[in-house]
């Protein structure tokens, strides 16, 4: 009886030692990956692209003044021309939505062909409207992007300057990211069969230009610029306006900021 108890206690000490050593060993396995990721982020800070642009020095965002948008759809047209987006409906990197909020608080949201040809109106509205306005939409370039989380191959990623990009040569076209985007900002390109979306015109902003939609907006409803620098039109826009973001409850942390956002806009 005594013998067996002794054995047990001996065993338990050995087991404790074993678990201790196992824990140390497993933790030490994590060190290389930790060191590696720090090394990577250090390297990324010094990264310079072929055109001399260093992503780590920038952090881009867009402001949209809803009270300035006239729903002309010039941004949709310019985006399709600049980025070679198929002209037929359902493929949009940016589009404009029309909100009509009636007195009985029914809300109708529509965007015929993305508003590329503007909007048509019924001659007589069947109910009295209390508020009506246009909302330009695009990829929100989330700081915490759900589309990047779900990509099984690492074909979509957040660049160092915060812009979410798609590597169309690596995308397998599974469509997970299209499902994951809460803003419906992605589409499957009908020719390449890969995911596609707004890149803030990455080929333009890395060449000291502004995105095509901002360039052509006739009423300056769209403002583009740095978020973290003081001399930036976007920072002034965010200082001068009441700012809202789309679906804040999802914690996606969008970098497209809306001024005068109505509660009905989602």
The whole-angstrom separation of Cα 223 and Cα 258 is 10
Q: Is residue 216 close enough to count as binding other proteins by CB under 8 A?
A: yes
Contacts of residue 148, defined as CB under 8 A and 6 or more positions apart, other chains included, come to 156, 157, 158, 164, 177
Minimum distance of other proteins from residue 83's CB (angstroms): 8
CB 132 within 8 A of CB 111: no
26-34, 124-132, 184-192, 238-246 -> range binding other proteins (CB under 8 A): 124-132
Minimum distance of other proteins from residue 227's CB (angstroms): 20
Q: Is residue 117 close enough to count as binding other proteins by CB under 8 A?
A: yes
Q: Is residue 107 close enough to count as binding other proteins by CB under 8 A?
A: no
Phi/psi at 99 (5° precision): -105, 130
Cα angle 251, 257, 259 (rounded to 5 degrees) comes to 125
CB 168 within 8 A of CB 196: yes
Q: Is residue 51 close enough to count as binding other proteins by CB under 8 A?
A: yes
Label residue 223 exposed, middle or buried (CB < 10 Å: 0-12, 13-18, 19+). buried
Residues 160-189 within binding reach of other proteins (CB under 8 A)? 160, 165, 167, 169-170
Q: Is residue 129 close enough to count as binding other proteins by CB under 8 A?
A: yes
The whole-angstrom separation of Cα 9 and Cα 172 is 57
141 or 156: CB nearest other proteins: 156
Q: Is residue 43 close enough to count as binding other proteins by CB under 8 A?
A: yes
Contacts of residue 207, defined as CB under 8 A and 6 or more positions apart, other chains included, come to 51, 53
Residues 237-266 within binding reach of other proteins (CB under 8 A)? none
Pick from 199, 228, 218, 186: nearest CA to 91: 186
Q: Is residue 9 close enough to count as binding other proteins by CB under 8 A?
A: no
Residues 53-92, one symbol each (x = binds other proteins by CB under 8 A, - = not), give x-x-----------xxxxxxxx---x--xxx---------
Residues that bind other proteins (CB under 8 A): 40, 43-44, 47, 49-51, 53, 55, 67-74, 78, 81-83, 98-100, 117-119, 121, 125, 129, 132-134, 154-160, 165, 167, 169-170, 199, 202-204, 206-207, 209-210, 212, 215-216, 218-220
């Amino acid at each position: 009886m005594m013998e067996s108890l002794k054995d047990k206690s001996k065993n338990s000490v050995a087991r404790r030692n074993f678990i201790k050593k196992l824990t140390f060993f497993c933790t030490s396995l994590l060190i290389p990956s930790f060191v590696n990721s720090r090394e990577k982020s250090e390297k990324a800070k010094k990264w310079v692209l072929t055109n001399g642009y260093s992503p780590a020095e920038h952090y881009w965002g867009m402001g949209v003044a809803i009270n300035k948008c006239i729903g002309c759809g010039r941004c949709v047209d310019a985006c399709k021309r600049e980025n070679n987006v198929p002209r037929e409906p359902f493929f949009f990197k940016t589009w404009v939505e029309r909100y009509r909020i009636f007195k009985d608080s029914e809300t109708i949201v529509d965007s015929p062909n993305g508003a590329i040809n503007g909007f048509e109106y019924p001659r007589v509205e069947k109910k009295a409207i209390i508020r009506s306005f246009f909302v330009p939409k695009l990829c929100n370039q989330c700081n915490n992007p759900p589309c990047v989380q779900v990509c099984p191959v690492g074909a979509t990623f957040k660049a160092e300057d915060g812009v979410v990009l798609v590597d169309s040569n690596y995308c397998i076209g599974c469509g997970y990211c299209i499902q994951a985007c809460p803003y419906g900002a992605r589409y499957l390109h009908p020719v390449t069969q890969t995911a596609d979306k707004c890149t803030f015109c990455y080929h333009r902003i890395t060449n000291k230009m502004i995105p095509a939609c901002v360039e052509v907006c006739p009423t300056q409803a769209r403002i583009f610029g740095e978020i973290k620098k003081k001399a930036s039109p976007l920072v002034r826009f965010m200082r001068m306006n009441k700012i809202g973001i789309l679906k804040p409850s999802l914690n996606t942390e969008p970098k497209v900021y809306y001024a005068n956002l109505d509660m009905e806009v989602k």
